[in-house]
Amino acid sequence: MEPLINWKELQFARLGRPAGGPGGAVDWSAMAAMYARMAEMEAEHTTYQVDAFPTDAADTVLDIGCGPGRISIPMARRAARVTAMDSASGMLDACRANVAAAGLDNVDYLQLDWHEAVAGENVPLHDIVICSRTVALSQLERLSEFARKRVAVVMWANAPSIPPILDRIFEGAQDPQNSMRGHGSPDRRLAYNVLYNIVYDLGFEPNVVVVPDGFTRTFATPEEEYDYLRVLRPMLPGAQAEAAFRTNVDHFTTTNPDGSVTFLVTTRSVVLWWDVHPASYEEVWPTHAH
């Protein structure tokens, strides 16, 4: 059935039209260490995202654009096997290291660009397909081809993503050219409502679960905290930049009774998930079928 509203065009209005092929200007491998540290600080809140949709212990999972394994790791604890797929070798190396550190051995790695993925050919079908904060969000119509049971996508829910959070922490401490201010700045009119409608018009019954999100970690001392966070962005040299950085970090820090300090930045995510074989109207309401 033809959609009444062209949601796809509205999605392009927000994200820009996808290039349609592999490649791109972003060197993701160069960002693997930063993303790994952010994933570590998000681990507690990531639980809300993976708890938002059903998973069976026997399920296989495909995590598209897995990064350092933020989602792959908790899914590997819930499911039988996970395929962690990413185009960036540096991200897969970080993912491998994190999976090993978590003591898991049920993750397979696939270095492949999403644009070159063909369901059932170079990527086998999996029970659950996950796409979190990555390129496949602009091709929702393709995701279901890779799933036997269910698709789950994760996005920011009209709340800051990682780049603006880092901009805040490094305000006055980084070369302004490194600032990604404006990146992902929320426009409520073109947010997950658009993705919901695209999925709906594809014939599915999408579920929307908005969850609290955040980055947190407790450190023995403030110095330990500064050292952990300082490496997330290249900083300007000098005492002035260091002072600005410390003031920003202190803003998100509380001191605990035992003298340790807890860093916490809060944000919000949304999980949009759907079964790829939804029951038809007649199957839901069999007694009235003629």
Ligand X SMILES: C[S@@+](CC[C@H](N)C(=O)[O-])C[C@H]1O[C@@H](n2cnc3c(N)ncnc32)[C@H](O)[C@@H]1O
Which residues sit at the interface with ligand X, rule CB under 6 A? 28, 35, 39, 65-67, 70-71, 86-88, 91, 113-115, 132-135, 154
The nearest distance, CB 151 to ligand X, in angstroms, is 14
The nearest distance, CB 253 to ligand X, in angstroms, is 24
Closest to ligand X by CB, 183 vs 277, is 183
* Calpha distance 289→282 (Å, rounded): 6
The nearest distance, CB 116 to ligand X, in angstroms, is 8
Closest to ligand X by CB, 36 vs 194, is 36
* Calpha distance 19→104 (Å, rounded): 36
Q: Which two tokens stand for residue 288?
A: 């009235």
Closest to ligand X by CB, 77 vs 115, is 115
The nearest distance, CB 72 to ligand X, in angstroms, is 8
Closest to ligand X by CB, 86 vs 225, is 86
Closest to ligand X by CB, 66 vs 129, is 66
* Calpha distance 238→86 (Å, rounded): 37
Residue nearest to ligand X (CB): 67
Distance of CA 90 to the CA centre of its chain: 17
Burial 80-110 (b: 16+ CB within 10 A, else e): ebbbbbbbbebbbbbbeebbeebebeebebb
Helices then strands, counting H and E runs in the chain, come out as: 10, 8
The nearest distance, CB 229 to ligand X, in angstroms, is 18
